[in-house]
Structures are given as C-alpha cells and as structure tokens.
Amino acid sequence: MKFGILLKEGPYNHQAADTAYQFVKAAMARGHEVEAVFLYNDGVYNVTNLASPPQDDRNIVQRWSELGDQGVEILSCIAASKRRGIADEVLSRNASITGLGVLTDIAIRVDRLMIFGD
C-alpha cells in the first residue's frame, strides 16, 4: 500500500512526531511505500537544523533526515513555515519547503493519508 503522512505537531512537545516516525518505519519494514511526510501547523518545527536535543535522547529532526535518505520526501508547508521562522537557511537535511498543493496531490495519489496530531 502507498501511504502519505500528514504531521500536525512539533517534536518533543507532542508524541505525534514519534508516532508518525514509528508508523513510517513499521510500514516500510512491512514492504509498504511511504511517499512523503508533509508537515503542517507546528509540525514544521520537525525540520529545523537549529535543534540540538540532549545526547541521551532521540534526535527527532535527524530521524526525519534519515528517512529522507531512504527515499521518503520530507515536506514542510510554506505558509505554516513562514509563520514560524522555518526557512531554507535553517532547514534540516533532506527536508524541503513546498505548498499545500503538493499535499493535495499526495492525498489524491496515495492509498491512505495518515494524519498524526491531536
């Protein structure tokens, strides 16, 4: 099955970023395709390279970059990003900023759009 992910919460503050990541890993391990993770609302904070969490905790931003290495597109909504100071200069590796039209295309194309957040 082909999945798209919509993540609506920032890292650490909310479990959604962890659950979304675990879902993507589990789906891929089962042979499913995850086309993209689209970040909306505070979800855009998942791709700032200014984050430096404690060494003994998971690095959520880095995890998304690693998923990017495996071919999952990591996309941050431009409108939500601009509001929150997420711009190309601070973007983490493998992430890119794009528009809601791309999310619409993903929603149309995938078998399931999974939404993570409250």
Q: What is the DSSP-derived secondary structure letter of residue 24?
A: H
The nearest distance, CB 57 to other proteins, in angstroms, is 26
Choices 25-33, 59-67, 86-94, 102-110 (CB under 8 A): range interacting with other proteins: 102-110
Q: How far apart are CA 36 and CA 6, in angstroms?
A: 8
Task: State the binding string over 45-84 for other proteins (x if CB under 8 A, else -).
Answer: ----------------------------------xx----
Whether 77 is catalytic = yes
Q: How far apart are CA 108 and CA 40, in angstroms?
A: 17
| 34, 41 contact by CB (below 8 A) | no
